Structure 1
Amino acid sequence: MKFRTSDGVSLHYTDTGIEDKPVIVGIPGIGGTIQMWQKLIELFGDEFRFIMLDPRNQGESQRTFQGQRIARHAADLAELFNKLDLHNVISIGNSMGAANFWAYLGQYGQGRLSCMIDLDQPPKMISDDSWNYGFKDLNWDNYPEYLKFDFGKATYAHIDDQMFNNAKAEYQKFPYDPAENYLCLVDHAQQDWRDIILTMPVPMLVIAGKNSPYFDYHFTEAIKNINDQIETEVIDDCGHLIQAEQPEKAHEIIMEFLKKHKII
């Protein structure tokens, strides 16, 4: 399905369309694909309405020079919520997808969210004297040139063969060009969401992959030091794509969190 944003960009989303069920909205990381979420979507089954959004410049969404910033991504979310008349949204973001939801909270307050679930994304990408858990070796001395390098493999555990092949087929049909979306990555990397973490208006769960090639999972402890009300979990034998590598464990942790906070 497609919708057109207020700045004229066509964005693609999928929707299980189950009415009168709790709504989940998921967003993949930069360059990511909805296909890597299919096992997790299946696990939530017909007890939830699961919507996935392809951010601009990836998946089946339009390729454009417009809006290559996280603030615009947050506006895209707000417009999707309005179009579909969504309320009490359970938000799940992997990597930059989590930053999209932090940006939404920063711009709209609680807005239409009931909670936020972060899959392997610290609130700050650049390491410095105030933060030791950035993206790989990214620091202010090599930013933003470092972001042009090949980041290498994002995963650690084996991904279901069918899901992997579906993702590969999508990339062939709808290629992702990092160079065309570079400005979005630069904007993403320079953000610092610790102020949002400190004053989170909704319950929040952070899940890290213990073997993530991108982030040191100890960032979860640093988040707890900012706000001890935020819940954190670390999944063993798991890299950066938690939803694809350990969907069963992710589903289990998320369901416990939702029940604890009486969101479902």
Structure 2
Amino acid sequence: MRFVTTDHVALHYSDTGEKDKKVILGIPGIGGTSQFWHKMISLFNPIYRIILLDPRNQGQSERTDKGQRIARHAADVEELLASLNLHDVIGIGNSMGAANLWSYLDLYGKGRLCAMVDLDQSPKMIADTDWQYGFRDLSWMNYPDYLKRPFGKAFYAHIADEMFEAAKEEQEVFPYDARDNYKCLIDHAEQDWRDILKEMPVPMLVLAGKNSPFFDYHFTDAVKEINPDIETKVIDNCGHLIQAEQPEAMHDAVMRFLHKKKLV
């Protein structure tokens, strides 16, 4: 399915469509694909309606030079939810998808969300003297050229063959070019969401992959120091793509969180 944003960009989303269920909105990270969320859909769909959004320049969404900012991505989320007349949505973001949700909360307060789940995204990408848990070795000394380098493999554990093949087929039809999103990656790297974490307007769960090639999972401890009310969990035998590598463990952790917050 497609909808057109107020800046005239056509974005693709999938929707299981049930009108009587609470809604989960999933957002992949930069360069990511919603094809890696298919097992998650089957796990959550008995209880929840699942919507997956392909951010601009990714998946089946339009390639464009417009809106290469996290704030515009947040506006895309608001416009999609408004077009579907949805409220009390559970937002789940992997990597930069989580940053899109933090930006949404920054711009709209609670808005149309009732909870947020962060899948392996530190609230600050660039390490410095007061934050040790940035993206790999990214620092103000090597920024922004470091972001032009290939990131390498994002996952650690095996991804189910059917999801991997679906992602490969999508890439052949809708090829992704990292250069299209470089300005957005720069904007992503410059953000510091710790002030949002301090006063989260909705309950939040942070899941980190213990074997993530991108983030030290101990960032979850630092998040708890920022706000002890934020729930955290480290997923064993898992890299950066938690929804694809360990979908059952992710499902169990998220469901415990949602039961605790009475969002089931």
Please give the TM-score of this superposition, normalised by the length of structure 1: 0.99
Q: Deviations over 1:196-245 (max 9, x none)?
A: 00010110000000000000000000000000000000011000000000
Partner of 1:243: 243
2-side partners of 1:47 and 1:200: how far apart?
A: 25
Aligned equivalent of 2:10: 10
Q: In the alignment, is the contact (CA less than 8 A) between 1:70 and 1:103 conserved in 2?
A: yes
Question: Partners in 1 of 2:259 and 2:181 — Cα distance?
Answer: 38
CA distance in 1, matches of 2:107, 2:53: 19
**What amino acid is aligned across from residue 104 of structure 2 in structure 1?**
Y
One-letter code aligned to 1:73: H
Name the residue aligned to 1:80.
80
Paired with 1:141 and 1:155, the residues of 2 have a C-alpha distance of 27
Q: Distance in 2 between matches of 1:10 and 1:249?
A: 34
Taking the aligned partners of 1:46 and 1:250, their CA distance within structure 2 comes to 16
- Aligned-partner Cα distance in 2 for 1:172–1:42: 25
Is the Cα contact below 8 Å between 1:18 and 1:46 reproduced in 2? no
Q: Which runs of structure 2 are paired with 1:45-84 in the superposition (5 Å)?
A: 45-84=45-84
How far did 1:181 drift? 1.1
Once residues 77 and 202 of structure 1 are traced to their aligned partners in structure 2, the CA distance between those partners, rounded to angstroms, is 16
Q: CA RMSD in A?
A: 0.5
Q: Which amino acid in the other structure matches residue 148 of structure 2?
A: K
4+ runs of 1 displaced by more than 3 Å? none
Aligned pair 1:234/2:234, yes or no?
Answer: yes
**Unpaired segments of 5 or more residues in structure 2?**
none
Partner of 2:93: 93
Structure 1 segment 101-116 matched on structure 2, within 5 A: 101-116=101-116
User: Using the alignment, how far apart are the partners of 2:92 and 2:116 within structure 1?
Assistant: 6
Displacement of 1:65 after TM fit? 0.3
Partner of 1:12, secondary structure, is strand
Q: Percent identity?
A: 66
How far off is 1:11 after superposition? 0.3
Unaligned runs of 5+ in 1: none
Asked whether 1:172 is paired with 2:142, we answer no
Deviation of 1:38 after TM superposition, in Å, equals: 0.2
Greater alpha carbon shift after TM alignment, 39-48 vs 141-150: 39-48
Q: Return the letter of the residue paired with 2:62.
A: Q
Residue of structure 1 equivalent to 2:140 = 140
Q: Secondary structure at the match of 1:46?
A: coil
Distance 2:53 2:179 in 1: 21
Distance in 1 (CA, whole Å) between partners of 2:248 and 2:46 is: 16
> AA paired with 1:101?
L
Name the CA distance, whole Å, in 2 between partners of 1:143 and 1:69: 17
- 1:214 is the counterpart of 2:209: no
Q: Distance in 1 between matches of 2:137 and 2:206?
A: 22
Alignment partner, residue 20 of structure 1: 20
CA distance in structure 1 between the partners assigned to 2:47 and 2:133 by the alignment = 36
Whole-Å Cα distance in 2 between the matches of residues 215 and 107 of structure 1? 26
In the alignment, is residue 121 of structure 1 matched against residue 132 of structure 2?
no
Give the number of equivalent residue pairs. Answer: 264
3-state secondary structure, aligned to 2:139: coil
Distance 1:35 1:198 in 2: 33
Secondary structure in structure 2 of the residue aligned to 1:36: helix
- How far off its partner does 1:46 sit? 2.9
Question: CA separation in 1, counterparts of 2:10 and 2:247?
Answer: 29
Residue identity opposite 1:249 in structure 2: A
How far apart in 1 are the matches of 2:256 and 2:47? 15
Q: Distance in 2 between matches of 1:45 and 1:62?
A: 27
TM-superposed CA distance for 1:156, in Å, is 0.3
Q: How does 1:179-198 map to 2 (within 5 A)?
A: 179-198=179-198
Give the CA deviation at 1:130. Answer: 1.0
Q: Hey, what's the Cα distance between the residues in 2 that align with 1:148 and 1:192?
A: 20
Question: Counterparts of 2:26 and 2:228 in 1: how far apart (Å)?
Answer: 25
* Cα drift, residue 45 of structure 1: 2.2
